[in-house]
């Protein structure tokens, strides 16, 4: 069976969790079997993705056979450095989040757990398909599947608030999907097949008006999921979902899919030179910096822990957008590495929030005084992840920002360095008071003992985040993949810092 799956590994990596979703539905009446299917599929998926890593690190790609729908319209999967980086983050964090979800859902005695785990598997299947998409049509197929698979997770609690939040999510993302479809059809008229190509697929001599029109549609279609302001309104509303779903939205899929899509479009559809020639890079950078500043400021107004972290995500994902807009090798590498850095950091923060709520039933930051003394593992991981989000040295957020800042300076864009530094200070200002109150104020009320089923996953992701900050190429080589992808996009110029 494994040999059969391995014969077409990009496709197999997509199908394994799709099959798991169907199997989870069939065995839903037996929770232990259902969870075994989830873990088994997660292990097989991660193994398949890892099996392609040596080839990609050596400069090659792993491709699936093309499926021709009609002449000139194909579905095609390819594992390249950028896609591999995203797929590794998604497959690793799905396995970790699955372990956490079992403890969280059992502790909260949530209903409809079979539907929850099946939808979770569908989401990860769509995310891997999106990561390995080799052309625009394949990307669109999995982009929309991700929207539909996530909807029941956002609505999982089935309260009026959950239904309202999920409807808002669906309206925003499906509307954006139509803009993306228009952009893809237009691009296909210029480049039959729409195959992604490092440095851009558009033919020479495309009029600037066409570039601007395509660019606007792509930014609208991808910017909603990337939560670029003012397209972000669905994300805070989606925080009504169970905490593992919030972690999925922020760290593994959806918003990360939108930011990944912007990197794909900038580097593999237009090319940085084309956008720079018409001035579209300036508009994209302006949207990113505005989002970074205003989302960080907006986070101060939120006393609900998950909503504060939602605005933090809105700001953090625009680091990726900013790196894409700057367009130098270093800036693109920093943006791509931030997919992994932010993934491990933000999933830690959300799992901490879920553990706090499970053991204390508190979600307001004004109620967390002294909780660090009662839940030291959870709040220790929260403190480390907060420092990483602020970009402190020896943590991965610093490496992302450092490279984006270097890239900005190499293009003479000092203002973006100021924005990055200011954003780091704002991150400290809205996260570290929570840490201070948790450890240095007297506790009030009782808290249940920390559960290993919740603390082990969040401690593991915090440890990985720390290791990525100290040795960013440790293990699977996220930093090397980021530099490889960035260099291929820009053409190898100014590759200083390449590991």
Report pLDDT for 253: 80
Residue among 222, 228, 18, 31 at smallest CA distance from 112: 31
Residue 435 has pLDDT above 90, yes or no: yes
Q: 2: pLDDT confidence band, cut at 50, 70 and 90?
A: very low
Alpha carbon distance 256, 326 (integer Å): 19
- Give me the helices (H) in 27-80, please: 31-57
Report pLDDT for 88: 96
Residue among 362, 364, 119, 104 at smallest CA distance from 242: 104
How does the average pLDDT of the chain come out, rounded? 91
With contact defined as beta carbons under 8 Å apart, do 140 and 130 qualify? no
Alpha carbon distance 388, 9 (integer Å): 34
Residue among 235, 347, 219, 376 at smallest CA distance from 286: 219
Report pLDDT for 4: 44
With contact defined as beta carbons under 8 Å apart, do 241 and 165 qualify? yes
Of 2-6, 100-104, 240-244, 425-429, the one with minimum mean pLDDT is 2-6
Q: For the segment 167-224, what is each residue's pLDDT rounded down to a tens digit?
A: 998 999 999 999 999 999 999 999 998 999 999 999 988 999 999 999 999 999 999 9
Report pLDDT for 484: 95
Specify the residue for token string 């197929």.
Answer: 141
Q: 250: pLDDT confidence band, cut at 50, 70 and 90?
A: low
**Residue with the larger pLDDT of the pair 499 and 99:** 99
Q: For the segment 81-106, what is each residue's pLDDT rounded down to a tens digit?
A: 999 999 999 999 989 989 998 888 88
Residue among 124, 63, 125 at smallest CA distance from 96: 124
Specify the residue for token string 């790609």.
Answer: 61
8-state DSSP, 268: I
Look up the pTM and report it. 0.94
Residue 51 has pLDDT above 60, yes or no: yes
Q: 75: pLDDT confidence band, cut at 50, 70 and 90?
A: very high
Residue 339 has pLDDT above 90, yes or no: yes
Report pLDDT for 1: 42
Report pLDDT for 181: 96
Residue 80 has pLDDT above 80, yes or no: yes
Q: For the segment 366-393, what is each residue's pLDDT rounded down to a tens digit?
A: 999 999 999 999 999 999 999 999 999 9
Q: For the segment 437-481, what is each residue's pLDDT rounded down to a tens digit?
A: 999 999 888 888 999 999 999 999 999 999 999 999 988 899 999
Report pLDDT for 374: 94
Report pLDDT for 7: 56
Report pLDDT for 112: 84
Residue 290 has pLDDT above 80, yes or no: yes
Residue 492 has pLDDT above 80, yes or no: no
Tell me whether strands 62-63 and 78-79 are parallel, antiparallel or unpaired: antiparallel
């Amino acid at each position: 069976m494994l040999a059969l799956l391995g014969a077409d590994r990009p496709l197999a990596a997509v199908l394994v969790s799709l099959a798991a979703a169907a199997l989870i539905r069939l065995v839903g009446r037996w929770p232990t079997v259902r969870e075994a299917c989830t873990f088994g599929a997660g292990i097989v998926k991660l193994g398949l993705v890892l099996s392609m890593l040596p080839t990609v690190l050596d400069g090659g790609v792993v491709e699936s056979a093309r499926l021709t729908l009609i002449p000139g319209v194909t579905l095609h999967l390819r594992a390249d450095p950028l896609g591999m980086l995203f797929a590794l983050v998604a497959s690793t964090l799905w396995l970790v989040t699955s372990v956490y979800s079992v403890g969280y859902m059992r502790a909260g005695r949530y209903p409809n757990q079979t539907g929850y785990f099946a939808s979770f598997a569908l989401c990860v299947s769509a995310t891997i398909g999106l990561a390995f998409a080799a052309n625009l049509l394949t990307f669109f197929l999995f982009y929309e599947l991700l929207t539909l698979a996530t909807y029941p997770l956002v609505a999982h609690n089935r309260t009026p608030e959950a239904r309202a939040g999920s409807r808002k999510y669906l309206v925003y993302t499906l509307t954006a999907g139509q803009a993306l479809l228009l952009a893809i059809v237009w691009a296909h008229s210029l480049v039959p097949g729409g195959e992604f190509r490092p440095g851009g697929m558009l033919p020479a001599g495309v009029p600037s008006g066409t570039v601007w029109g395509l660019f606007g549609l792509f930014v609208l279609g991808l910017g909603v999921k990337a939560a670029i302001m003012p397209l972000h309104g669905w994300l805070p509303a989606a925080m009504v979902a169970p905490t593992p779903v919030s972690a999925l939205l922020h760290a593994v899929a959806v918003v990360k899919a939108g930011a990944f899509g912007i990197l794909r479009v900038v580097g593999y559809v237009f090319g940085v030179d084309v956008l720079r020639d018409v001035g579209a890079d300036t508009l994209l950078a302006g949207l990113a910096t505005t989002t970074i500043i205003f989302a960080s400021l907006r986070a101060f107004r939120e006393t609900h822990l998950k909503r504060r972290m939602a605005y933090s995500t809105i700001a953090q994902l625009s680091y990726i957008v900013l790196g894409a807009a700057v367009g130098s090798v270093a800036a693109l590498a920093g943006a791509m590495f931030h997919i992994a850095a932010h993934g491990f950091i933000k999933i830690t923060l959300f799992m901490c929030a879920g553990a706090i709520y499970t053991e204390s039933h508190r979600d307001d930051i004004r109620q967390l005084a002294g909780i660090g003394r009662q839940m030291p593992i959870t709040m220790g991981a929260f403190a480390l992840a907060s420092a990483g989000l602020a970009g402190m040295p020896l943590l991965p957020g610093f490496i992302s920002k450092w490279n984006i800042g270097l890239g900005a300076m190499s293009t003479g864009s000092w203002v973006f360095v100021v924005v990055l530094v200011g954003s780091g200070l704002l991150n400290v200002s809205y996260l570290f008071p929570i840490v201070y109150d948790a450890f240095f104020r007297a506790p009030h009320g009782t808290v249940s003992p920390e559960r290993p089923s919740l603390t082990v996953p969040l401690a593991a992701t915090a440890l990985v985040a720390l290791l990525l900050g100290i040795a960013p190429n440790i293990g699977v080589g996220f930093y090397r993949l980021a530099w490889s992808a960035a260099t291929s996009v820009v053409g190898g110029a100014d590759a200083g810092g390449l590991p």
